[in-house]
Structure 1
Amino acid sequence: MSVNTSRVQVQFWGTRGSLARPGRNTLRYGGDTSCVQVTSPKGSLVVIDCGTGAHDLGRSMLAEARGPLRGSILFSHTHWDHIQGFPFFAPVFVPGGHWDIYGPAGLSQSLRDTLAGQMEHIYFPVTLDELGASILFHDLVEGSFEIDDIRITTRYLNHPALTLGYRLEMGSACVVYACDHEPHSRLPGQKAQMHELDRRHSEFLANADLVIHDAQFTDKEYANHKGWGHSPVEYVSEIGQLAGVKRMALSHHDPGRTDVALDQIVESIRSDLKEKESPMHLFAAADGQVIELDVSSATTPKISRGKFSTTPATAPAVKDSSVLMGVSDAGLALVLMEAARVEGVRTNHALDAPSTVRMAKSARPGLILLEDQPAGIDGLSVCRSLRSEQDLHLKQVPVVMVADRERAAEGMAAGVTQWLITPFSVQYARAQIQAWLWRSACRWIRAALPADEEKRLAALRGLSILDTQSEERFDRITRVAAAVGDVPIALVSLVDHDRQWFKSCHGLSVTETSRELSFCGHVVLTRAPVIVPDTLLDDRFADNPLVTGEPRVRFYAGFPIFYTDGSCLGTLCLIDTRPRQFPAATLQRFEDLASLVQQELNSSPQQTAA
């Protein structure tokens, strides 16, 4: 395939899910399992997953090669249909070639160990160590890294195996690969408000030019396949529309799905999109299909910026971490204990609420699993108790609630991190435990949404102030704040749904960042000033890309700004690149300046008109 240096090229080599199914009923969409080739504007080569489609890809590459090949392979996870083509990927056999191979870090086994396992002599005639090319392995967690001119962001997906999605940004073009993934909370045909974790998934897809998404089932089929780790096509369409995706490629087609049946599904979803007047183009990916994205006209993506490596330096800390289970149900405890045991994770087991709280204080676990059952432990009450403690660790440790149904609003108010809905398999529990332990090892905590989020956003948008020009009445205040604190940066930050936008920027050239990176989101959540004397000593921020990369925040002070109805809209914040401590009198001056911002915001022409 020739490379046009002004474009991103994406070619599908395998789009079937679970099991390769070549045959006359799958001729048009193909029968090979997952494999996608991405070529950047500068010619950088990335292969995503190595299902059976990797065989034809490798042969095609060698036919066009003028010497040893180099490139990168991103594995989403190590289920067989995503790795079984690797031993047949011819370029890795050629001496002089160089391949970097990336995939999710496991607690009990590395990516290299897993790939080597399927190439032991009992299964395959050539071992991993006997390949001709030079191969480097990279175990990944959530975060971002770069391959030549491609910036890649990783995000855990919802699947029974630990699975990563990949967001590839090349100039202004963006491609997202999200196989395999299941909705976090969905009833067949659900049209209700989307779960917060699904909204977070939509942020990962936000404004992408092309999303390649698992769509193995329909809503009707999904009713009998919950927990399998795959999405219904209706959900994929909804999440794509919410995220503002330009093109949505349905992939991981069910092995029993014929070309005719797939055509009917696509036509049905397209009719729905047309009725809604959605601009998103949806199609079913086919083996051999090529998509080209014009970099100059592609949508500029909005997601976390800043550079930090996803290759974990935290493996020893994760392996030393423990899991606390507050579970009285013997059957449930057995499943969770087995999931932790297989991963080699140390566990502590409490049988009642008082023991759970006591052990959380003494053992300082990396993850807490709580049942929420009327006849057992009242998990929400335990979670509220832990979050009310002065110990910062207990306020921040991930708490996963295990129950037969989700109580989202009550859980958010209690401080629940995530819900794990029964029934589930040992394999699914393993994946969830791994993901949360890796997340907790990273010293960067995204602020949760406040309980009044919908009301708050309505108030903010009602002001019609977002994306307006700078105004001297606000700029004057940030100049004074910077002078009073002798800091290089002072901002009036308004926290939107997926970003923080700066109405006034003193000392900073950008006008917005992702909400995921936002320090100010913590102020909005607590509705109180947040003072961070040294970010490197604070587990909420030490690994935040704004700390590890530009502008290298070391000190932060954020003071809340409220609307007339009591909603916290954002902050007046001060930032320094060195640790700082301020006396109470100076902090009071900053609060006074925040009050002036609040007065201006609530007396704006838009507010007067309202």
Structure 2
Amino acid sequence: MRFWGTRGSLAKPGADTQRYGGNTSCVEIRSASGTLVVIDCGTGAHDLGQSLKESTSAKQGHLLISHTHWDHIQGIPFFDPFFQPDNEWDIYAPHSLSQSLRDTLAGQMRYTYFPVTLEALGAKIHYHDLVEGTFEVGDITVRARFLNHTALTLGYRLEVDGCVVVYSCDHEPFAGAHAADPEALNGQNQRHAEFLRDADLVIHDAQYTAAEYPEKIGWGHSTGEYAVAVCVAAGVRQLALTHHDPLRSDNAVDAIVANLQNELATTGQKLQVFGAAEGKTIQLARSEAAEAAPKSEWFSAVEPVIPAISEHSVLLGATDDATRKMVTDAAEVEGLKLISRATNESAQQALESGTPSVVLLDASSPLDELLEICRAVRERASETSPQAPIVVITDEESIAAELDACATDKIRRPFSPEYIRTRLRAWILRSSCRWIRARRPDDEEVRLAALNSLKILDTEPEERFDRIVRLAADVLQVPIALVSLIDRDRQWFKSCIGLDSRETPRDMAFCAHAILEKKVMVVPDTFMDPRFADNPLVTGDLRIRFYAGCPIRHADGHMMGTLCLIDTRPRQFNVRQINQLKEFARLVEQQLGSQ
């Protein structure tokens, strides 16, 4: 990979930016097979385009745009491959609620601003609007996740050739995470760290220092200290600090990097940190950790999963006039239906008419009123209507623990109209289609007949099954292990360790997905998997964060259910652990065969 632009906000060529560079964001990544990916198209894309022009092989590529702020797209009109008729490019960017990616990019090339329109580009270009999820570009798997910025922004995790690279730019710490202590990360900041988990290289926004940040809250950018903290927490190997402030000289960047390196050395951390510099090239070798990590089946980031915007609504409870006006204006601009109530009691009553897409609560209200609304929101959740995100507006970094436990996210005042618009978009896009019920197998009726022939459903627990489940939980170190059998409308547990319930509705069953895979299904983090993120088994008291299930088969080959392992924290299974789970599942099959 190579850096072509590392400056943030504004291109800043000059004598004191020669080493780290003055061009804005642009990174080139190539797989061993030659797949070309460009991330962001700031002014650094001009030199990259000239380099590709001289290449006889680079006729096809993929451009991933994190967001459409100018410093990330101003290189598009000057990117030579887009003007070449024999070139073909796919351009990906966050899905907008108001206009298509193509229309957004065409805006800066209107006749008023630029002599060449988007229609005049000679290359064959395909446009893709993205939400959170995964997609493939050649032999590279890309996972997209929303970041915390003043515009709708995606971070990208690229997995290829046994290596993992994460691009996280532009991103601001979520509320309450200004310190450089990895142990202090929680909530959304911990989810961000999980997105970076075990990466060989993370390219992270580090526009400010911790000392500068209090004056920059809400501007949408990170500190170097925060970038180090999340990377240490995530077990990252190398960290490239990027999006350098336009006022930051080369010597000033050197000083920031040196201070962070000294802190890491003092605390004995293995993370390697450096400043991203124009022209710097990095070769990444195959990583054993990446090679062993199971490939989970993520929902497609490019599928048209978002309903019409008119179907989305925002419920706003009691708040001050200034906040109410800002939310009202943001909802109007975005075309959202706003259900605004002067009191929290009337807001709770509004829930009886339907489930909103987002619920906004003000932490300055009496705690008991807010908790009543949260309870009502949870009760509205059903198998067909996942729980709406609950977002708490607050003046402080911390809120009451009971409210924090209910909150999906927090937004701290003061914030700009643009910021609340962006957060509304992200909450709605993230919450759409994040609980997907498994389809029925093609052999469903025959499968059910085979299951019923065993005459095992609703029988008493048996030590022969419990012994296997206890051993699996102990060897693989999980708090919950089950033998789950998938009946017509439920999953029923023949053996259950660490869980009081004996069954759940089939619509909630992870195992209903696993029997379709016909191999071990591993979900490293349910919060980041759109099939399960809003499943009540994830959002409710059980709080499932990790799942691994191995299908168990009838003697005739039909899928009966799974031996599954569950944890309340995100984790990975390596190849050895997956094989151990398979062996335990075979023991369960032997016992079923002796029925």
Partner residue, 1:51 = 42
- The letter for the 1-side match of 2:399 is R
- 1:184 maps to 174
Cα pair 2:231 2:239 within 8 Å, conserved? yes
Partner of 2:204: 213
Identity within the alignment, % = 42
Structure 2: give runs of 5+ residues left out of the alignment: 438-469, 500-509, 550-557, 572-587, 589-595
2:377 aligned partner, one-letter code: L
- Asked whether the equivalents of residues 305 and 545 of structure 1 are also in contact (C-alpha less than 8 Å), the reply is no
- Would you say 1:515 and 2:506 are equivalent positions? no
1:190 Cα offset (Å): 5.8
Query: How many angstroms apart in 1 are the aligned matches of 2:231 and 2:256?
Result: 16
Aligned to 1:409: 401
Q: Sort the Cα spacing of 1:408 and 1:301 in 2 relative to 1 into closer, same or farther, 3 A.
A: farther
**For the structure 1 residues 554 and 399, does the alpha-carbon distance in structure 2 shift closer, same or farther, using more than 3 Å as the test?**
farther
Q: Residue 9 of structure 2: SS of its match in structure 1?
A: coil
Q: Within the alignment, does 1:28 sit opposite 2:38 as a pair? A: no
**CA deviation string 1:294-337 (max 9, x = no partner):** 13657447587115321241333344211121134111111111
The structure-2 alpha-carbon separation of the partners of 1:131 and 1:392, relative to structure 1 and needing over 3 Å to count, comes to same
- Alignment correspondent of 1:588: none
Whether the 8 Å CA contact 2:66–2:154 is kept in 1: the answer is yes
How far does residue 420 in structure 1 lie from its aligned partner after superposition? 1.3
Cα–Cα, structure 1 residues 377 and 434, in superposed 2: closer, same or farther, change >3 Å?
Answer: farther
- Number of aligned residue pairs: give it: 510
| 1:421 equivalenced with 2:412 (yes/no) | yes
Is 2:378 the counterpart of 1:387?
Answer: yes
Aligned pairs (5 A) from 1:288-367: 288-295=279-286, 299-300=290-291, 302=293, 305-367=296-358
- 1:555 and 1:470 map into 2 onto residues whose CA distance is 25
Which residue is equivalent to 2:118? Answer: 128
Please state whether the residue corresponding to 2:282 is helix, strand or coil. strand
Q: Distance in 1 between matches of 2:125 and 2:472?
A: 52
CA deviations over 1:490-519 (Å, ceiling 9, x no partner) = 998999xxxxx99xx999654843132496
Task: Normalising by structure 1, report the TM-score.
Answer: 0.74
1:79-478 matches, cutoff 5 A:
79-186=69-176, 188-189=178-179, 191=181, 193-295=184-286, 299-300=290-291, 302=293, 305-374=296-365, 378-389=369-380, 396-405=387-396, 406-407=398-399, 409-413=401-405, 415-444=406-435, 468=475, 478=483
Specify the SS of the correspondent of 1:315. Answer: coil
Measured in 2, the distance between the counterparts of 1:465 and 1:384 equals 36
User: What is the deviation of 1:65?
Assistant: 2.5
Q: Do the aligned partners of residues 177 and 470 (structure 1) sit closer, same or farther apart at CA in structure 2, a change above 3 Å counting?
A: closer
Distance between the aligned counterparts of 1:409 and 1:554, measured in 2?
A: 43
Write the letter of the residue equivalent to 1:31: G
Report the equivalent of 1:12.
3
- CA distance in 1 between counterparts of 2:570 and 2:148 reads 32
1:424 Cα offset (Å): 0.5
Alpha-carbon contact 1:179-1:213 (below 8 Å) kept: yes
Equivalent position SS for 2:145: strand
CA 1:300–1:272: 2 relative to 1, 3 Å: farther
RMSD: 4.1
| Whole-Å separation in 1 of the counterparts to 2:486 and 2:301 | 37
Aligned-partner residue type, residue 339 of structure 1: A
Distance across 1 between alignment mates of 2:207 and 2:339? 38
* Matched residue type, 1:177: Y
Distance 1:339 1:301, change over 3 A: farther
The separation in 1 between residues aligned to 2:166 and 2:497, in whole angstroms, is: 29
Contact 1:11 1:37 in 2 (8 A): yes
**Greater displacement, 113-122 / 434-443:** 434-443
For residues 208-263 of structure 1, what are the alpha-carbon distances to aligned partners after superposition, in whole Å with 9 as ceiling and x for unaligned?
A: 01100000011000011010110010111010000000110000001111111111
The TM-score with structure 2 as length reference comes to 0.76
Helix, strand or coil at the partner of 1:31: coil
Q: Is the 8 A contact 2:240 2:273 kept in 1?
A: yes
For residues 115-168 of structure 1, the C-alpha deviation after alignment (integer angstroms, 9 at most, x for no partner) is: 100001111111001110011100000000101100000000000100000000
Contact 2:473/2:565 (8 A) holds in 1: no
In structure 1, the residue matched to 2:580 is: none
1:394 deviates by 7.6
Please tell me whether the aligned partners of residues 523 and 560 of structure 1 are also in contact (alpha carbons under 8 angstroms). no
Query: Is the 2:11–2:43 Cα contact (8 Å) retained in structure 1?
Result: yes
Could you say what secondary structure the match of 2:4 adopts? strand
Is contact 1:16–1:33 with CA below 8 Å preserved after alignment?
yes
